[in-house]
Structure 1
Amino acid sequence: MIQNEMSRRRLLGLGLGAAATLTLAGCGGGSSSDRSTAAGNGGKEYTGPKVDLKLWNGFTGGDGDIFKKLVEQFNTEHQNIAVSVITYEWQDYYSKLPGAVSSGNGPDIAVMHMDQLATFAARGVITELDDVAKTLELSEGDFAPTVWKGGLYHDKRYGIPLDMHPLGFYYNKGVMQKAGLDPNKPPTTKDEYTAALTELKKSGIQGFWVSPFQFTGGMTFYSLLHQWGGTLFDGEVAKATFNSDPAVEACTWLVDMIKQGFSPANVGQDADYLALKSGKNAFNWNGIWQINDLKKSPQVQWGVAPLPQIGSQKAAWANSHNFTIVKQRSADNNKVAGAKVFINWLSQHSLDWAKGGQIPARKAVREGAEFKALPEISGLAPELEYAAFPPAAPGLGEVMVTFYNAFNEAALGKKSPKQALDDGVAKANKQLEDNRKKYGS
């Protein structure tokens, strides 16, 4: 379970540049009718002949079972729409999609992370969904503003948000108790965090293992950079800014965790999380997706809360799954209309999806009593108000790899935080310039 979960999640924020470099001859081409608004009424209902729809996704873990059950329920309730689910590991998924679309063998519906939308929109792989939002009367007020805006590229909507998945603060209550800490009061500030780590260290416990890898050290740094008031890029995503003074300060704080003995050096991939489960550390910053895994470990006394505020403001790394409709070499308006009905239906049933370890994008669902009855997952919902989402820019995935690699060098002590981030920014700026040439924006 852990191996499978880790392998798929490791690709959530990588961006997977291979998808961006493939040639998509034929995508978005054809006659003007191919690009016209599809038949139907934007997803309210579908009354045409039966259509068979292919849906691609990367839900290979426990959330995949929940997703498939929801699709089965949809098929039962809609006799004229049959959705078949094809699941790949995320890295294979994003690599396969452009070529499949180009050859006419792509899916009709694709689940896509927010930070992938701009790339696939720029490459002509996915189609606009403004009519869905308009017809269903969906607006920013129905969602968290950051999640809603994340579905836009060049002021046109390409994604209907399903959820958001942030980092959460996991703590081992048993380890805290052994160190004389209150297991029901996890630290929420920098001072409280340092004090707790100091008490843990006195008990011989390195309480907070800093991973040099993207999962989860890189995403922890991503969160802290924003907590210190920094940004990864300028407003136009033309220049990288993750070597600013706030960024260096945030990176230095994490590296000092290692230097001061609160964390071991050279922490292996996922070792920080496994140490939490085995009682070797007390704190772990990790994704909301770990909640269901921990629930399968009754021997572990654990809790989860929003990330502590270490910097001057609250912030947390987050991403979001969006539904998209894939462009076809020969458009079938009935299929497009059926796909929109499915997207709307599943969006409305996002409470059931939340049980898979996600925060529903729809505000009405998040504010409902049934969602609040999921204490661990709903407990991270407040982070939605200050979540740090990736900007909408094509080809950004490759640049994010550079960002995470820069942190890796600092965490492993190969370079000072400033040198590592300076070198990373220099490389990132060249990548951003290449992306402007590649995508014409």
Structure 2
Amino acid sequence: MSTPVSGAPAAGVNSGRFLRFWAAQSTSQLGQRFGLVALPVIAIETLHAGTSEVGYLTAALTVCYLLVGLPAGAWVDRRPKRAMMIRSAVVRALVLATIPALWAADRLSLGWLYGAAIVVGIASVFFDVAYQSYVPFIVPDEAIEPANARLEASAQVSAAGGPALAGLLLKVVSAPVVLVVDAVAYVVCASFLATVKDSEPHHANEKGERSRLAQDIRAGVQFVIGNPVLRRLCVSVGVSNFFATIVMTLTPLLILTELGLGTTMMGVVLGVGTLGGLVASATLPRIRARLSAGTVMAVGLLLAGLSMVAFPIAGSLKGASAALPVALLTLGQFGMTWSAVTFNITQVSVRQRTCPKDMLARMNASIRFVIWGSMPLAAILAGWLGSHLGVVACMWIGVVGSFLTALPIIGMDRLIQETTPSASAPLQNV
């Protein structure tokens, strides 16, 4: 077990600085869920977008990882991560506020929606890379997994409550107005972050000289490629995100167009189903006390694929009573989020403990470049295939592909033992 950096006193998950950071993340997550529900609804119902246009919108939100994913890691490693997160939150608030303003002036267009999504996505890249690299600077090593579990728990509470609340709000106000909640949440997030104290050393380079951006990027990529644990995780999560994105891109169309369930029911299905993630955050410590990290990750991926089967099956029940497809969608969403969160908490904690602190942002950026960079390609493919093959048929492709994601996890426990000195310690030292 390592000591806190920079001589800072031990600060676990009950310390004031972690609790304020947790509040910032929770507020941001709740607002973001409102935005994720509102944006496709704006495209479909306000701007009359079709299957391809919805795919382009999802691609616009995620293409940023291909555009700035790798440079973001190098920039974040050179600068204070807390300040980076504050700036990113403010940028997202300002950009999102333009959408309801333009809608009120009857000037909103799909082109602007795509552009706003790209800018918000770029700001999110910097926020997310800094966020995942920041945890080891506010808690000691033995508290990393408990901290990640708490952060993921609040994210899942937001994922459960956010869509449901957004769906109810959509019955009262138009979708563009819902984005005001998202913008305000980012302002509150920035305010909380401004009060957090951390132990991050603020210097550009351990050697005292500023290295070139390309060298920093290359160092991060080489570290991930050279580390067998990180390399396999990168492949596994990249493939998983690709096929999951195909299913998730078409889910609003499945619910709103194919099944005709309406926005309120979409919010309820996604919100209630996502309670699986909250259950996963609560049950993971007991699971990890009995099972190794590699086993937990493999089981999580396989169960996520199995849960996704419910989506195309529900879509094939078009014309039947709404109760059965709603039940299937909710059950599938519950199982998928339980499995994904169980996998994600474990793999993020393994990554954070495997990587030196001065390489965290570049490591996270390199991995996120692959796993998130695959998403716009999957979204565009989903839109194209959905238009030509149909929504349900395209979803089956995503389901079948998702079962491949556990293959790189085989033998992971041995590799973790070899590359992480504390891997054999109890639960808190994954």
| TM-score under structure 2 length normalisation | 0.30
Hey, which of these two has a bigger chunk of strand by percent? Answer: 1
Larger Rg: 1
Query: TM-score, normalised on structure 1?
Result: 0.30
